[in-house]
Amino acid sequence: MAYTKIPSVDLADFLSDDPKRKQNFVNEIGQAYENIGFVSLRNHFLSNELMKDLYDQVREFFDLPEETKLQYERPDIGGQRGYVPFGKEHAKGRKKGDLKEFWHFGQIPDEDADLTEEYPDNVEVKELPKFNKVGIEAYQQLEKTGIYVLRALALRLGLNEHYFDHWASNGNSILRPIHYPPITEEPDGAVRAGAHGDINLITLLMGASAGGLQVKNRDGEWIDAKPEKDELVINVGDMLERHTNNKLKSTIHRVVNPPREEWDQPRYSIPFFMHPRSEMKLDCLEECIDSEHPKQYKDISAGEFLDQRLREIGLKK
């Protein structure tokens, strides 16, 4: 079945004490991810007030002078924290840099996280005293939401409900506020974000300030992803597709340039890329392998896979 719009699901069903409602949520999100790889989710943990505060802070940051923003660039760590300037990243297989600049907030692990790796520190923006506080609070609420989505998927896959908890809690996740500036001249083959699949387990995207996100369905048609105002768009990434031996779909998506009459409008978008701890094995799950679905991928860890992909998209040399 080829979807013509993104299915909508309600996290309140999964969190309810009613086993039937909980199972319905597992079925709905499972079917959506096995077919198109995207859902829109309501009743998540990110309040409207926090979303508004975050967008206000993000706009203020990207309005700073270019020389100020460049002080916060960290190319020495592949741009995994701080500012990444305009045109630096491109979709895998493309040479043209995307028409965007962005910022990276990363994990602040619990003291008892027992990590095998050290995450880079977040970069403090001294011009905006609330920027980091609001960003980290949003990061934590999105991580909490993502863990509940992964619990539903674990049940769908026949795993223990808490299978992903250890790997995703204190994981190498990234919150990425993005600014797509107004388009001032005919783009030479570049789009706001080229067609791509995400690297990570799942991506949680709060409503962008303007349209443009499109998803490719099973018939190869591009469909608009238009969530309601209070919904998050959540999609499967390449790591989870690989781990489930292609049972859950990491769907190709893109951000297209707007119609010419809207070129003067900037676009802001804030995805949360949920990564596991780097030592998590992405080997195909036995529950997803049978005679009709033989193992499709070589064994690899999440850290090895991430490193490989960061080189392919130009963020790491």
Place of tokens 């303007």: 210
> What is the band of 94 on the pLDDT scale with cuts at 50, 70, 90?
very low
Residue 193 inside a domain? The answer is yes
Task: Determine the Cα–Cα distance for residues 111 and 116; give it in Å rounded to an integer.
Answer: 13
Residue 317 in this model has a pLDDT that exceeds 70: no
Task: Determine the Cα–Cα distance for residues 218 and 51; give it in Å rounded to an integer.
Answer: 32
Write out the two tokens for 112. Answer: 């008892």
> What is the band of 90 on the pLDDT scale with cuts at 50, 70, 90?
very low
| pLDDT (mean) for 209-231 | 82
> What is the band of 59 on the pLDDT scale with cuts at 50, 70, 90?
very high
Residue 105 inside a domain? The answer is yes
Residue 15 in this model has a pLDDT that exceeds 90: yes
Residue with the bigger pLDDT between 102 and 78: it is: 102
| pLDDT (mean) for 278-293 | 96
Residue with the bigger pLDDT between 167 and 230: it is: 167
Residue 38 in this model has a pLDDT that exceeds 60: yes
- How does 242-276 read in b/e, with b if 16+ C-beta sit within 10 Å? bbbbebbbbbbbbbbbbeeeeeeeebbbbbbbbbb
Mapping DSSP to helix (H, G, I), strand (E, B) and coil, where does residue 177 land? coil
Q: Please say whether the beta carbons of 62 and 52 come within 8 A.
A: no
Q: What is the pLDDT of residue 228?
A: 81
Residue 38 inside a domain? The answer is yes
Q: Count how many domains the chain has.
A: 1
Residue 139 in this model has a pLDDT that exceeds 60: yes
| Residue type (1 letter), 258 | P
Q: Please say whether the beta carbons of 249 and 35 come within 8 A.
A: yes
Give the containing element (helix H, strand E) for 267.
Answer: strand 267-274
**Mean predicted lDDT score pLDDT of the chain:** 89
Residue 2 inside a domain? The answer is no
Q: What is the pLDDT of residue 218?
A: 84
Residue with the bigger pLDDT between 210 and 168: it is: 168
Write out the two tokens for 180. Answer: 């797509």
Q: Please say whether the beta carbons of 175 and 272 come within 8 A.
A: yes
Which residues form the domain of 51? Answer: 8-312
CATH classification at residue 71: 2.60.120.330
Residue 179 in this model has a pLDDT that exceeds 70: yes
Residue 194 in this model has a pLDDT that exceeds 90: no
Residue 1 inside a domain? The answer is no
Residue 286 inside a domain? The answer is yes
Q: Please say whether the beta carbons of 289 and 242 come within 8 A.
A: no
Residue with the bigger pLDDT between 253 and 45: it is: 45
Which ranges of the chain would DSSP assign to H, the alpha helix? 11-15, 19-35, 48-62, 66-70, 131-156, 165-168, 238-243, 302-312
Residue 89 in this model has a pLDDT that exceeds 80: no
Task: Determine the Cα–Cα distance for residues 317 and 313; give it in Å rounded to an integer.
Answer: 10
Residue 236 inside a domain? The answer is yes
Q: How would you list the strands of the sheet with 222-224, edge to edge?
A: 193-196, 253-255, 213-216, 222-224
Q: What is the pLDDT of residue 189?
A: 59
Residue with the bigger pLDDT between 258 and 106: it is: 106
Q: Which residues, 6+ apart, have CB-to-CB distance to 194 below 8 Å?
A: 90, 91, 94, 96, 98, 254
> What is the band of 155 on the pLDDT scale with cuts at 50, 70, 90?
very high
Q: Please say whether the beta carbons of 90 and 313 come within 8 A.
A: yes
| pLDDT (mean) for 176-202 | 79
Q: What is the pLDDT of residue 299?
A: 96
| pLDDT (mean) for 160-182 | 94
Q: Please say whether the beta carbons of 254 and 223 come within 8 A.
A: no
Q: What is the pLDDT of residue 210?
A: 52
The dihedrals phi and psi of 42, each to the nearest 5 degrees, come to: -110, 165
Residue with the bigger pLDDT between 93 and 117: it is: 117
Task: Determine the Cα–Cα distance for residues 299 and 243; give it in Å rounded to an integer.
Answer: 9
Taking Cα atoms as reference points, which of 274, 256, 251, 276 lies closest to residue 7? 251
- How does 61-98 read in b/e, with b if 16+ C-beta sit within 10 Å? bbebeeeebeebebeeebbbbbbbbbebbbbeebeebb
Residue 263 inside a domain? The answer is yes
